[in-house]
């Protein structure tokens, strides 16, 4: 069986994996038994949503999920407006009930892109994200491993939804400048930026991983730092 994608449930005891075969581009999900995938619970609408692939065997192919429900379809915690669609990326979380619903965990899935042939060049296709290293108002830094090279990196993930108001006021230029500056820096004591991923819902900066912690933490620990400590760092 050849697949172009699948929805892998968080709760694998009570729910089955939804596999999308290459021979079929469009799948319906809902409470009605005539659909491709049935979720037998009263809060699930008879026809809850539709998932469709454009059929292109390229890195630019698109998978869309369209909501047709009364109670909502969610991608990464964000509701899709009724009769509107969202693009699904590998690793996205899809849920069919509101996060306020007690049993919502039973209807949460991870979307996996399994397109036959060339895979899209995305962050998740190239790196495996690990533990969270730090978190700010607009970005989170993760420890990650390159899937082929097995090397460890630090990846700063900037979620575009958290930047919405910031972007309206022109603040997004700050990140554009940060990327432009980092791409020009080459210094033994500055983390090197190796690549950048611009995706639909996030911007990811892949940098060298330094295991010794933050410079700020070192400064707080040491207190006043003399020139004999500072000079080697800045030279």
What percent of the chain is predicted at pLDDT more than 70? 85
Model pTM score: 0.50
Quote the pLDDT of residue 219.
Answer: 81
Quote the pLDDT of residue 59.
Answer: 67
Quote the pLDDT of residue 65.
Answer: 94
Q: Which residues contact 196 (CB under 8 A, 6 or more apart)?
A: 179, 203, 204, 205, 206
| Mean pLDDT on 222-233 | 80
Quote the pLDDT of residue 199.
Answer: 78
The domain ranges of the chain are 3-113, 123-217
Quote the pLDDT of residue 76.
Answer: 87
Q: Which residues contact 1 (CB under 8 A, 6 or more apart)?
A: 19, 21
* Region 3-113: CATH code: 2.60.200.20
* Assigned token pair, 92: 């996205």
Quote the pLDDT of residue 202.
Answer: 82
Over its C-alpha atoms, the chain yields an Rg (Å, rounded) of 22
Range among 3-7, 180-184, 212-216 rated most confident: 3-7
- On the CB side of 19, CA atoms within 13 Å amount to 7
Write the pLDDT tens digit of every residue in 93-120: 898 875 544 544 458 888 888 764 444 5
What would the DSSP string read from start to end of the chain? --EEEEEEES-TTT---EEEETT--EEEEESSTTSSEE---TTS-SS-EEEEE----STT--EEEEE--SS-EEETTEEEPTT-EEE--TT-EEESS-TTSGGGGGGEEEEEE--SSPPP--HHHHEEEEEEEEE-SSEEEEEEEETTT--EEEEEEEETGGGHHHHHTTTHHHHHHHHHHHHH---TTSPPEEEEEE-SSEEEEEEE--TT--HHHHHHHH-S--HHHHHHHH-
Query: What is the band of 191 on the pLDDT scale with cuts at 50, 70, 90?
Result: confident
Examine the pLDDT at 144 and tell me if it is beyond 90: yes
Q: Which residues contact 110 (CB under 8 A, 6 or more apart)?
A: 7, 8, 10, 91, 92, 93, 94
Tokens 């997004």 sit on residue: 172
Quote the pLDDT of residue 104.
Answer: 46
Write the pLDDT tens digit of every residue in 60-71: 678 999 999 888
From residue 105, how far is each of 9, 101, 134, 200 by CA, in Å?
9, 9, 26, 25
Range among 116-130, 139-153, 197-211 rated most confident: 139-153
- Higher-scoring residue by pLDDT: 203, 60: 203
Quote the pLDDT of residue 213.
Answer: 74
Write the pLDDT tens digit of every residue in 149-167: 888 999 999 887 766 555 5
Query: What is the band of 227 on the pLDDT scale with cuts at 50, 70, 90?
Result: confident
Quote the pLDDT of residue 116.
Answer: 47
| Mean pLDDT on 15-43 | 88
Q: Any bridge partners for residue 3, and if so which?
A: 21
Quote the pLDDT of residue 28.
Answer: 95
- Range 123-217 has CATH code 3.30.200.20: yes
């Amino acid at each position: 069986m050849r697949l172009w994608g699948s929805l892998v449930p968080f709760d694998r005891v009570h729910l089955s994996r939804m596999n999308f075969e290459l021979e079929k581009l469009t799948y319906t999900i809902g409470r009605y038994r005539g659909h491709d995938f049935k979720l037998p619970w009263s809060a699930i609408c008879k026809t809850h949503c539709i998932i469709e692939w454009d059929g292109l065997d390229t890195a630019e192919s698109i998978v869309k999920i369209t909501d047709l429900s009364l109670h909502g379809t969610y991608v990464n915690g964000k509701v899709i407006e009724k009769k509107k669609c969202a693009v699904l990326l590998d690793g996205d979380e899809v849920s069919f009930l509101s996060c306020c619903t007690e049993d919502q965990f039973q209807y949460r899935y991870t979307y996996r892109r399994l397109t036959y042939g060339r895979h899209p060049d995305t962050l998740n296709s190239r790196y495996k994200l690990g533990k969270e290293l730090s978190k700010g108002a607009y970005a989170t830094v993760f420890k990650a491993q390159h899937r082929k090279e097995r090397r460890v990196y630090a990846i700063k993930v900037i979620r575009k939804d958290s930047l919405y108001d910031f972007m309206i006021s022109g603040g997004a230029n700050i990140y554009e400048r940060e990327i432009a500056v980092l791409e020009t820096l080459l210094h033994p004591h500055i983390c090197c930026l190796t690549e950048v991923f611009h995706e639909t819902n996030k911007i990811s900066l892949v940098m060298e991983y330094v295991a010794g912690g933050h410079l700020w933490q070192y400064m707080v620990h040491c207190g006043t730092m003399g020139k004999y400590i500072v000079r080697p760092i800045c030279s």
